[in-house]
Amino acid sequence: MEPSNKACDTCYRAKLKCVGREAPPCARCVANGTECTFDGRRKSKITQVEERVVALETALEGMRAHMGVMERQIDAMGNKSTEPTPAVHQLATYTPLASAASAPPTHPAIHHLTHHLSQDPSHHSSHHSSNHSSHSSHPPVPGRKRSRPRDSSSSEVDEDPLNDIARGAPLERMLDRRTSSPCIKHMRLTIEPSRADPSSDADDPVVAGLVTPAHGQALLDAFYAHCHTPIPVFDPATDTWDGLRRSPFALTAAIMVGAMFAREPALQARLQAHAEKLAKETLFAGDGVEVVQGLVVLTAWGGGWRTGGHQLRLAMEMGLYRCLPHLVRTDMGAGKGDAALEIERPLVVGARVWLAVCKAEYEMAFNQGRPLLIGEESSVALGRRLLDHPLSTREDSRLVAACELLAGRQRSHLAWSGTPAVSLETAAFEIAADNAFFDAWHADWMAYYDSVGVPKGHFLRDLLHSGKNHSILLVNSRLLSGIGARADVESLAPERRTALLRSVQAASALVRMATGDTAYRDYFLSMNSMTHVAMAFAARLLIRFAGLVPDAVDLRQTGRDIEALAGVLKRGPGGGPLAAQIQDVLRRARRRRVLPPRSRVPSPSLARAEPTPESQTHSEILVDRAEGFDFGDFAFPADLFGGFSDDDATNIFQWLGGNGTDWVSPI
């Protein structure tokens, strides 16, 4: 055995000094009776790491080679197409059809397009150049999963357990989703058989035997003519009867509302049951923008809190919140031809639907006193830019205006929903700023409608009036806490007195709108039932104001207006209970002389500063003659609203006997 200047294998592994290595065997091997050898590994840790890196690089090169082969195969398949589409928007096309002679297309899922648009720029550039050179813009084969190639010559280092951890890293998961997620699976240029031929879809309302094509067309026309403008989630020019048959759920929801307006309660109930059944199926399988459109309609006219929550989550999952910012970055279709604009249509649809979802979320949070789930949404601030797009509709202004108004109420909602709530002194100052915002918002949008030629008295203008007055009423009524009698009114601070008078004016204007000779009255019955609840709330609050500040209320006209409102509600679908409730409150108010009895005598003039014995109003004379009733005590107005305390004064659901499962549409 040759002498060595290194420790023997036994001493090396034991990390002990090798004594006698110059003349092996060493002393330890002799003592232990083991063979003294010098042929073990002597590689450093740095050398081991370098070898591991080399092995990993070899594996990556193999993966890159396999991916190159797959990309060439996909490009070869795309070359078979004879009708190329622009590569930038290759993942979604939209070709609306308006006749039954051709099959309705599958509406592209907006989140597919936004997912493509948000990919890595380097991926865009390389993929675009590849497609441009081959004159093809078809997407990868749907459903093809990305394989992880393995070089057969690679060492066992490729199977290190850390590889499994790496596969769960964010980058790896993004790569997997790019090719194997349901988004890619449904990115297709061909139409599914069940949607290409509606007669093969058992969920289609015609196939299900709920309506005939002619009857369904009539119900959809009624929906667009009378019910669509307040929540315009569709484009009537493209979402026709034939076009909407691509989505049985959205179509069923729309004609359900049409049946409600057409006074067909039995059919409406069957359609609503069918729509709710389809909505349940979307909980785990919904992936199209039509699903969100159907949920918006179902939430407004037949659903509530839970349906609204589902539509918000689904819209976020689809990435609809990205549509409007992307349109703004691409200059809102300026200078683009018809073909390029059609490619942007899915983004316009997505932006429209997202604003409708935001509107519903604001309303549900405000009216039920619950947290706002969307926060400060950037699409609301960019909403007016949507109106600049050539594919936008005039009704889109309704969604933009409503979202702006509701976003302006967010501060008040957060202030009063906190613990503890803000003081009345602080609230009075902030509500004054809110009132200024409401006035400026109203004037701004009225000027906009002047500029685009919307005529005076149009329903869109009336929606501005009702939105402003509802907001003033709901926000200013928060300052009325603690007011229990006329004496309390006399001692109010100027800011709170102003809030009280503005609330009176807003409530009077709302009741007059629902019964007066305006376009709003014609559309009022076709709006959702929660709008009727909000109007009943204004009527009952107006009766309370009549007891507090009779000089600020035209008592006789108020009685007539509230009586007319009850009659209007009685004619509406499901408005009977509300009408009966208002009539009962009105009878008690007249019996207790808060409002004068029915009469055709004109109302007295209110244009006087101080009441005198010669100019006493009829209501004051009635109060003086009331027997055994202390009108200065606010016990009667409190009794009108079920005896709730002033802390509950702004709880709409307690005032109106609701159970909290529905929500009020305030505008």
Q: Mean of the pLDDT values across residues 11-19?
A: 87
DSSP-based three-state secondary structure for 386: helix
Structure confidence at residue 1 as a pLDDT band (50, 70, 90)? low
At 601, the pLDDT band (50, 70, 90 cuts) reads: low
In whole angstroms, what is the distance from residue 429 CA to residue 499 CA? 11
pLDDT of 235 over the 90 cut: yes
Average pLDDT, the chain: 73
Question: Position 505: which residue type?
Answer: Q
* Residues whose CB is less than 8 angstroms from the CB of residue 254 and which lie 6 or more positions away in sequence, other chains included: 219, 220, 223, 234, 244, 294, 297
pLDDT band at 123 (very low <50, low <70, confident <90, very high): very low
**5 or 290: whose pLDDT is higher?**
290
Residue pointed to by tokens 């009336």: 462
Round to whole Å and give the CA distance between 564 and 297: 29
Contact yes or no for 472/502 (Cβ under 8 A): yes
In the chain, what is the straight-line distance between the N-terminal and C-terminal CA atoms, in Å? 99
Alpha-carbon distance of 530 to 437, in angstroms, equals: 25
Indicate the range of 2-6, 173-177, 517-521 predicted with least confidence. Answer: 173-177
Provide the 3-class DSSP secondary structure of residue 288: coil
Percent of the chain whose predicted confidence (pLDDT) is above 70: 68
Which residue, 622, 616, 613, is CA-closest to 604? 616
Determine what percent of the chain is predicted with pLDDT higher than 90: 34
Max avg pLDDT among 125-139, 148-162, 580-594: 580-594
Residue 89 pLDDT > 70, yes or no? no
Separation between Cα atoms, residue 565 and residue 254, nearest integer Å: 27
Task: Tell me the two tokens of residue 168.
Answer: 């769960």
- Would the pLDDT of 88 be above 90? no
**CA dihedral angle for residue 570, residue 574, residue 580, residue 581, rounded to 10 degrees:** -130
What pLDDT does 479 receive? Answer: 83
pLDDT value at residue 663: 35
pTM (two decimals): 0.64
Report pLDDT for 350.
95
To the nearest 10°, report the CA torsion of 195, 199, 205, 208. -130
User: With bands split at pLDDT 50, 70 and 90, how would you rate the model's confidence at 420?
Assistant: low
Give the residue with greater pLDDT, 592 vs 178. 592
Q: CA-based Rg of the chain, rounded to a whole angstrom? A: 35
What integer is the mean pLDDT of 514-525?
Answer: 79
Domain boundaries, the chain: 91-139+188-408, 437-601+615-655
Q: Tens digit of pLDDT for each residue in 557-568? A: 999 999 999 988
* pLDDT(200) > 60: no
Query: For the chain, percent helix, then strand, then coil, each to nearest 5?
Result: 65, 0, 35
Interval 453-462: pLDDT, tens: 999 989 999 9
404: pLDDT strictly greater than 90: yes
Residue 115 scores a pLDDT above 60: no
Euclidean distance between CA atoms 210 and 253, whole angstroms: 12
In whole angstroms, what is the distance from residue 196 CA to residue 246 CA? 7
pLDDT digits (tens, 9 = 90+) for 366-388: 877 788 888 777 889 999 999 99
Rounded CA gap, 667 and 656, in Å?
A: 18
Query: Is the Cβ–Cβ distance between 323 and 391 less than 8 Å?
Result: no
Q: Does residue 108 have a cis bond before it (omega within 30 degrees)? A: no
Q: Which residues have CB under 8 Å from 3's CB, separation 6+?
A: 21, 22, 23, 24
